[in-house]
Amino acid sequence: MQTSLWYYTVPMLRLAELLVENSCLDRVFICNSGLEANEGAVKLARRYGSLNLNGAYEVITTNSSFHGRSLAMTAASGQPKMHEPFEPLPVGFINVANNDIEAVKAATTDKTCAIMLEPIQAEGGINVPDGDHLKKVREWCDSNGILLILDEIQTGMGRLGTLFGYQLFGVEPDIMTLAKGLGGGIPIGALLAKEKASVFTLGDHNATFGGNPVTSAAAYATLKYVLDNNIVGNASKVGQYLMNGLKALQGKHAIITEVRGRGLLLAVELNTEIAEDVLMNCLGNGLLVNRLKPNAIRMVPPLVIGNNEADEALSILDKALASVAMGG
Taking residues 91-102, what's their average pLDDT?
A: 97
Annotated catalytic sites, by residue? Answer: 66, 151, 180
Contact between 230 and 70 under an 8 Å Cβ cutoff? The reply is no
Residues 284, 271, 79, 246, Cα dihedral to 10°: 60
Evaluate if residue 5 carries a pLDDT over 90. Answer: no
Delineate the domains of the chain, giving CATH numbers in brackets.
10-228 (3.40.640.10), 231-325 (3.90.1150.10)
Taking residues 64-86, what's their average pLDDT?
A: 96
227 burial (CB, 10 Å; 0-12 / 13-18 / 19+) is middle
Taking residues 58-64, what's their average pLDDT?
A: 98
pLDDT in tens, 172-198: 999 999 999 999 999 999 999 999 999
Give residue 328's pLDDT. 61
206 burial (CB, 10 Å; 0-12 / 13-18 / 19+) is middle
Give residue 182's pLDDT. 98
Give residue 6's pLDDT. 83
Taking residues 37-48, what's their average pLDDT?
A: 98
Taking residues 280-304, what's their average pLDDT?
A: 96
Cα(321)–Cα(277) distance, integer angstroms:
9
Evaluate if residue 79 carries a pLDDT over 90. Answer: yes
Residue 294: how many CB atoms within 10 A of its CB? 11
Contact between 266 and 260 under an 8 Å Cβ cutoff? The reply is yes
Q: Where are the beta strands (DSSP E) in 79-193?
A: 93-96, 112-117, 147-151, 175-178, 189-193
State the pTM of this model: 0.96
Evaluate if residue 320 carries a pLDDT over 80. Answer: yes
pLDDT in tens, 232-291: 999 999 999 999 999 999 999 999 999 999 999 999 999 999 999 999 999 999 999 999
The order of strands in the sheet holding 112-117 is: 27-31, 189-193, 175-178, 147-151, 112-117, 58-62, 93-96
The rounded mean pLDDT for the chain is 96
Half-sphere exposure of 199 (CA within 13 A, CB side): 18
Residue 102: how many CB atoms within 10 A of its CB? 10
Give residue 326's pLDDT. 84
Contact between 20 and 27 under an 8 Å Cβ cutoff? The reply is yes
Taking residues 93-100, what's their average pLDDT?
A: 97
Distances (CA, A) of 182 to 15, 96, 126, 224, 229: 10, 29, 20, 10, 15
pLDDT in tens, 24-38: 999 999 999 999 999
Taking residues 150-169, what's their average pLDDT?
A: 98
Cis before residue 88, ω within 30 degrees of 0? yes
Evaluate if residue 71 carries a pLDDT over 90. Answer: yes
Q: What percent of the chain has pLDDT over 70?
A: 100
Taking residues 306-318, what's their average pLDDT?
A: 98
Evaluate if residue 131 carries a pLDDT over 90. Answer: no
Give residue 148's pLDDT. 98
Cα(103)–Cα(96) distance, integer angstroms:
6
